[in-house]
Amino acid sequence: MSDDLERLKREASERLERITSEDDLADWHRDFLGRQGQITSAMKGISQLPAEERPAFGQAVNALRNELQEAFDNRQDQVLAASLQSRLQQESVDVTLPGRTPLAGTLHPVTRMIREITRVFGLMGFQTVEGPEVEDAYYAFDALNIPQDHPARDVWDTIFIESEQREIVLRPHTSPMQIRTMEQVEPPVRVVVPGRCYRYEALDATHEWHFHQIEGLAVDTSITMTDLKGTLAEFARQIFGQERKVRFRCDYFPFVEPGVDFAIDCMFCEGKGCRVCSGTGWIELLGAGMVHPNVLRHVGYDPDVYTGWAFGMGIERIAMLKYGIEDIRHFYQGDVRFLSQFNRVFA
């Protein structure tokens, strides 16, 4: 082999031996075995040789190329293995470390309460329906026997939506769905309506500007107040215990006649009188009554043929009583310490 080829071989081998990175490998390959590398230019030099020396020289260059290619392949294997090894060390996982438990989300206590209450009414044959939160004042008031100039319209501290054409409100109660439901179907009607409501309200421990209600409505031939009391008693006992006593007292709501407030004996003091029941022994749960004939007329039901009753309750209030929550504002502050407690309660 010529001196030049000897020198080329030595240079290539020495450089290859020092290589530890993939980048350097690529550079080396380009410099020696690449299309413009030293082996290629050595091959081109063949034209300068006398004819009789050419075959031997050609063979020598080919042999050197094969030798260098083999050396390169070996070095490449070593470099790749070493870098894989070091990556494995850096990225290794200690499988003996204790795991981190992922934080699982849970249903909001109001959502759970809605499911529990609608389940109880579902067992008694009530279908659950939902309605719009942005509501036409006709459904929120007029059709519920609360005309424009009626003083009872002030009872609901309504949030109005600006509108040129019609009076639009954020619904202050779920009662509008009584009307929407009756407009859609013929009796018999048995529905409960859970949903969010809004009022222009000063906030305190028992008042939020948005909260939830469940409305109930039953309309059929020969529905009486006895059915109302029996149904509500069953609901109260399912939620607050079989031993609960129940009480009706007269109350006024424009869309019912007669209207009542429905109370249970205080489960904290068994009716003796305590802080929760303000010493009365009774806890008011909801408003109810026999659907007013005017309401039936508004939806085209004949009040001489059909009777019905309705009720409406605040869901947060039921949850507060059931789980001893002292402030309604807890529900909407998004504090995980509060919310996560209901995992266990409802499990």
Smallest distance, Å, CB 304 to ligand DAH?
A: 21
Tell me the angle at which helices 225-240 and 109-123 cross, rounded to the nearest 10 degrees.
130
**Kind and range of the H or E run holding 336:** helix 336-339
Q: Which stretch binds ligand DAH (CB under 6 A): 85-93, 181-189, 297-305, 310-318?
A: 310-318
Q: Does 289 bind ligand DAH (CB under 6 A)?
A: yes
- SS3 of residue 338 by DSSP: helix
Of 65, 87, 75, which Cα lies nearest the Cα of 9? 65
Q: Does 254 bind ligand DAH (CB under 6 A)?
A: no
Active site residue 129: no
Contacts for 75 with CB less than 8 Å, ≥ 6 apart: 16, 17, 19, 25
DSSP string, 251-293: E--TTEEEEEEEEEE-TTTTTS--TTTTTSSEEEEEEEEEEPH
Q: Does 256 bind ligand DAH (CB under 6 A)?
A: yes
Of 236, 206, 214, which Cα lies nearest the Cα of 327? 206
Q: Does 316 bind ligand DAH (CB under 6 A)?
A: no
Options 287, 306, 316, 321; binder of ligand DAH; rule CB under 6 A = 287
Pick the catalytic residue from 169, 212, 213, 317: 213
Active site residue 282: no
Cα dihedral angle (335, 340, 341, 342), rounded to 10 degrees? 110
Binding mask 180-219 toward ligand DAH (x if CB under 6 A, else -) reads -----------------------------------x----
Nearer to ligand DAH, 106 or 294 (CB): 294
**Token reading at 236:** 């109260």
Nearer to ligand DAH, 253 or 331 (CB): 253
Smallest distance, Å, CB 263 to ligand DAH?
A: 14
Options 32, 72, 235, 253; binder of ligand DAH; rule CB under 6 A = 253
Q: Which stretch binds ligand DAH (CB under 6 A): 131-139, 263-271, 293-301, 309-317?
A: 309-317
Q: Which stretch binds ligand DAH (CB under 6 A): 82-90, 101-109, 201-209, 282-290?
A: 282-290
Distance between CA atoms of residues 22 and 13, nearest Å: 16
Pick the catalytic residue from 38, 143, 156, 212: 156
Of 289, 285, 268, 286, which Cα lies nearest the Cα of 277? 268
Q: Which stretch binds ligand DAH (CB under 6 A): 66-74, 84-92, 106-114, 305-313?
A: 305-313
Q: Does 117 bind ligand DAH (CB under 6 A)?
A: no
DSSP string, 148-190: TT-GGGGTS-PEEEP-SSS-EEE-SSSTHHHHHHHHH-PSPEE
Using CA atoms, how far residue 194 sits from 42, 99, 238, in Å, is 89, 40, 18
State the residues that interact with ligand DAH by CB under 6 A.
173, 175, 215, 253, 256, 287-289, 310-312
| Residue positions annotated with a catalytic role | 156, 173, 199, 213, 256, 310
